[in-house]
Amino acid sequence: MIFNRSKIQGACRGFIAYALNNASPRIQLAFIAILVKLIGVSFIGLAYIFNYQPLTIVTSMLLLVWLGVMFAIAIPQTDVFLAARRRWLKKAWHVSIVILSIVVIAEILVLTVVHTSSNNDNILSSSTKDSIKHAFADSDATMLIKQATENVLDGKNPYVHADTISAIMRYNSDNSPWNKITPIRTGQFADAFPYPTEAQLQLVWQDAVASTAGQPTPEIESRLNYPAASFLLLTPFRALGIDNLGIALLIIIIPVLVCAAMSMQPQQRIYFILYILFAFELWNTLLSGDVRMLYLPFVLAGWLMAPRRPWLSAIFIGIAVATRQNCWFLLPFYLIYIWQTAGSRTALRSGAITAATFLGINAPFIIAAPQVYLSSVLAPLTANFFPMGNGLISLVTSGIIHLDSLVLFSVMEIVILVGCVLWYKRYAKRYPHTGIILAVIPLFFAWRSLLGYFYIVDIVLIAAILSQQRNSTAKALPAAYDETHALVPSTYP
């Protein structure tokens, strides 16, 4: 035989042994933190199954713990701290890898069964099928993005011609379309708090569908709430007949992930590949065709390129902030990062390039209908939406406290943002990658604090840590850890 089976098996065992025994403490901790995410997300499912919203408080607590762990991972000295605790950390890391591998296999099996059940009605019950179908059905945001790409191809202004009702009626695959709308606290929903009941949502939906006035229903958000790159990046794929946005996202994201891996030393790439494999939010988003991950490759490329190619990095960050508003929170930290690594002049140029990129993408729509554009894109900041999410706001959405004003949360968000920026300005040179985590911490205190704001920044952080070894001078290990040979000899990533 051309291939020696025993040699291949031996090589695989050696490769696995190397990967399990040579990860730095921070990388080991990062994989353990993935379990924290999974447990937190599972409590959201339990709250939905048992119709008991206080369970989401556990998700919020675990989200806060996860943010703290990721912040610690961004600090190089955490390697030194964990070196003295290498025994329990190594065991926990190995257990985490096993559990995460089991979860990957289980998810593949479940999705296979779901796909098979579409051709065999006896495999799953109708209620189970409906629950899974609902979980993977498009959100109203995704459907509005699809509608926007078609409007662009038809020569229409997507902001002027945005219509949630028609988008849902055309693209929705769920049996309860009223659960896909974003309600506004007005009209029939004026006294509904903390969120309208399903019966109220259904009634407003039926009224909207039956209406012949042609005017937007005031209780339903019908504006396209995202900057123009959110649909312009996807329009070429729709023009080519690719209607599944998950495929489009895959085509955009995978090359950037590959380039990120290539920026690392060969012995570090395995950890990044494993981390991406266990990034369940990423794969579930791609499978569902949800567009909320669209900004990820641009933030990833922008942050990794910042020290070496700041002008190209600024273009990528400009595309990111032209895609989703939550990227706006990253901008001050990114500019401070450039300032500390390349100087104030480069930071000013990078800021100008970022602004020019944003305006270049959005200017045609701003000029065509400035009032419509501003009211649409600024709606997440100005509209009277209901509280939602898994940050501190879960105390309100779960009914533990009754606070129907967003003022306190807005003040907290601003104060925390300013505090994070000031801290990073002082310590950015020492802890440059903490900016990735600090950028999302204010969102934990927001009136709308969705998990999607948080659970992909870790991919950027891990890529930055693993690529740092190739782009900076290696530091010697502390003696207490070097003796164990638990990392690639005498270096930290």
Return d(Cα 108, Cα 102) in angstroms, integer.
10
Residues pairing with 389 in the sheet: 449
In a domain, 262, yes or no: no
Cβ contact 432:59 at 8 Å: no
Q: What interhelical angle do 296-305 and 331-342 show, nearest 10?
A: 20
**pLDDT tens digits, 417-439:** 999 999 999 999 999 999 999 99
In a domain, 492, yes or no: no
Q: Report the length, in residues, of the chain.
A: 493
Amino acid at 478: P
Q: Which residue bears the tokens 């955009």? A: 252
Q: Which two tokens stand for residue 259?
A: 């380039």
Domain membership of residue 157 as a residue range: 140-210
In a domain, 166, yes or no: yes
Amino acid 486: pLDDT: 36
How much of the chain is in helix, strand and coil states, percent to nearest 5? 70, 0, 30
Amino acid at 368: A
User: Which residue in 484, 410, 399 sits closest to 449, CA to CA?
Assistant: 410
User: Which residue in 158, 162, 202, 150 sits closest to 180, CA to CA?
Assistant: 202
Return d(Cα 470, Cα 290) in angstroms, integer.
34
Each residue of 339-361: b (16+ CB within 10 Å) or e?
Answer: bbbbeeebbebbbebbeebbeeb
In a domain, 304, yes or no: no
Q: Which two tokens stand for residue 175?
A: 């049996």
Amino acid 154: pLDDT: 95
Cα angle, residue 138 at apex, residues 188 and 390 outer, rounded to 5°? 70
Beta strands (DSSP E) in 96-203 are none
In a domain, 383, yes or no: no
C-alpha distances out from residue 330 to 191, 258, 300, Å: 35, 23, 12
C-alpha distances out from residue 38 to 171, 193, 279, 451, Å: 29, 29, 10, 12
Overall number of domains in the chain: 1
Return d(Cα 268, Cα 458) in angstroms, integer.
16
**pLDDT tens digits, 156-200:** 999 999 999 999 988 887 778 898 899 999 999 999 999 999 999
Q: Which two tokens stand for residue 474?
A: 């290696």
Pairing verdict, β 388-389 and 448-449: parallel
Q: Can you give the pLDDT of all 493 residues of the chain as single tens digits?
A: 455 666 666 656 666 666 667 789 999 999 999 999 999 888 887 887 777 778 888 999 999 999 999 999 999 999 999 988 888 998 999 999 999 999 999 888 877 776 665 555 555 555 555 556 666 678 889 999 999 999 999 999 999 999 999 999 888 877 788 988 999 999 999 999 999 999 999 999 998 988 755 677 899 999 999 999 999 999 999 999 998 888 999 999 999 999 999 999 888 899 999 999 999 888 888 888 888 889 999 999 999 999 889 999 999 999 999 999 999 999 999 999 999 989 999 999 999 999 999 999 999 999 999 999 999 999 998 999 999 998 999 999 988 888 888 899 999 999 999 999 999 999 999 999 999 999 999 999 999 998 888 988 999 999 999 998 655 434 433 333 333 333 333 344 4
Cβ contact 224:324 at 8 Å: no
Peptide bond connecting 194 to the previous residue in cis, omega within 30 degrees of 0: yes
**pLDDT tens digits, 251-267:** 999 999 999 999 998 88
In a domain, 182, yes or no: yes
Return d(Cα 17, Cα 25) in angstroms, integer.
16
Return d(Cα 387, Cα 343) in angstroms, integer.
41
In a domain, 93, yes or no: no
Number of other residues whose CB lies within 10 A of the CB of residue 111: 15
Amino acid 491: pLDDT: 42
In a domain, 334, yes or no: no
Each residue of 143-154: b (16+ CB within 10 Å) or e?
Answer: bbbbbbbbbbee
